[in-house]
Amino acid sequence: MCIPWHKREEVKVAKSPHAPRRSLGEHIVVALPYLWLIAFFLVPFVIVAKISLSQTAIAQPPYLPVLDLSQGFAGLVAFAKELSLASYALIASDDIYLLSYLKSLEVAGLSTLMLLALGIPLAYGMARAPKRLQPVLVMLVVLPFWTSFLIRIYAWVAILQQDGLLNRVLLALGVIDAPVVWLASDTAVHIGIVYSYLPFMVLPLYASFQKLDESFFEAAADLGCPRWRAFFTVTLPLVMPGIGAGALLCLIPIIGEFVIPDLLGSSETMMIGQTLWTEFFANRDWPVASAIAIVLLALLLGPIAAFERVQGPELGGRRR
């Protein structure tokens, strides 16, 4: 009859042979974010990396060597000779640092799982709520940001303390006979973290759930898949990028979290942020503090790279 179906059309990929020429103004616009990153990210990073290779000293600033450019090239050589990996050796030799890193990973991992368990149903429910109600629900999720983060954590201290709201409610309900010690425990840290980070989990998830076309669910139902099963076979796979984004958006900052474990956690087990703070402010050991920060950054590179992989195609549209 005519040309067979499969030969009729090819997937056409438009590729322009010449990249468009950029004007000076466009070059400046493109350069601005790079300049920003160099000034406020790369330069501080180099400074921190340099401090991590120095030694403590009772001086101002409290480390040596300090680069003295007035001596010219000889000064630079002398400076380079003074650098050492002593701080890294210390971090590797003493368990306290390793334990801190592990503690951070454990708290962050567990909290992220709890955030997922809470966030997925919450976001799904929001996305399936009546259209006119949805802005209100998003508003409610964002509302806590209107109060200072620190004040909200202090509020949790008040809620969780011995004669706090939580214990009084549980006693009144007869769930417990004697007040429970909540504060200064991992439980309190997890409560604080889950509470603080929930919006960061819910919002990207909500965005992914909401983007789903209703016709996918109709197609699933039409093909014999009941709604509850479609949640697992269709909905979850389609929102995977959102789930990944939400999980990493929480996991990464939680690993470095300082305020919540400091105010709600016990002083016996420290997360890496607290260890870093102690080295910097209590011990005035800037090189070790800097080395901790560099190692933390190296550890986070894995998850950050994963985040990029998940988020890249999301931001740039589907890769074809």
Partner 1 sequence: MRRAFVPPDNTPPAVRFEAVTRRFGDHVAVDALSLDIHEGEFFALLGPSGCGKTTLLRMLAGFETPDAGRIFLGGDDIGAVPPHRRPVNMMFQSYALFPHLTVAGNVAFGLKQERRPKAEIAERVAAMLKLVRLEGMERRKPHQLSGGQRQRVALARALAKHPRVLLLDEPLAALDKKLREETQFELMELQARLGTTFVIVTHDQEEAMTVAHRIGVMANGRLVQVGPPPEIYEEPRSRWVAAFVGDVNLIEGTVVAIDDGRIEIADAAGRRFVGFAQPGTIPAPGTRVAFAVRPEKFSVTTSAAALEPDALEPGTREPGTLEPGTLEPGTRAQSASEKRSRAVNRFTGHVADIGYLGDVSVYKVRLSDGTVFKAAVTNATRRAAPPIAWDDPVTLSFPPDAAVVLTE
Minimum distance from CB of 249 to partner 1 (Å)? 22
Minimum distance from CB of 124 to partner 1 (Å)? 17
* CA angle (255 as vertex; 252, 204 as ends), nearest 5: 30
> Which is closer to partner 1, CB of 91 or CB of 310?
310
Q: Return the structure tokens found at 81.
A: 């000779």
Query: Angle of helix 95-128 relative to helix 236-255, nearest 10 degrees?
Result: 140
Buried b (16+ CB within 10 A) or exposed e, 124-152: bebbeeeeeeeeebbeebeeeeeeeeeee
Q: Please answer whether residues 96 and 239 qualify as being in contact, where contact means their C-beta atoms are separated by less than 8 angstroms.
A: no
Minimum distance from CB of 9 to partner 1 (Å)? 5
Minimum distance from CB of 67 to partner 1 (Å)? 53
> Which is closer to partner 1, CB of 61 or CB of 312?
312
Q: Strand, coil or helix: what is 230?
A: helix
> Which is closer to partner 1, CB of 33 or CB of 224?
224
Q: Please answer whether residues 198 and 115 qualify as being in contact, where contact means their C-beta atoms are separated by less than 8 angstroms.
A: yes
All residues at 6 or more sequence positions from 253 whose CB lies less than 8 Å from its CB, including other chains: 197
Minimum distance from CB of 233 to partner 1 (Å)? 8
Minimum distance from CB of 239 to partner 1 (Å)? 10
> Which is closer to partner 1, CB of 6 or CB of 21?
6
Q: Return the structure tokens found at 167.
A: 């214990």
Q: How far apart are CA 258 and CA 260, in angstroms?
A: 6
Minimum distance from CB of 4 to partner 1 (Å)? 6
> Which is closer to partner 1, CB of 10 or CB of 163?
10
Q: What are phi and psi of 63, to 5 degrees?
A: -160, 160
What are the beta bridge partners of residue 64?
Answer: 55
Q: What are phi and psi of 13, to 5 degrees?
A: -115, 115
> Which is closer to partner 1, CB of 106 or CB of 218?
218
- Residues that bind partner 1 in the complex, under the rule CB under 8 A: 1-2, 4-6, 8-12, 213, 215-216, 218-227, 229, 233-234, 237-238, 240, 318, 320
> Which is closer to partner 1, CB of 6 or CB of 81?
6
Q: What DSSP designation does 64 have?
A: E
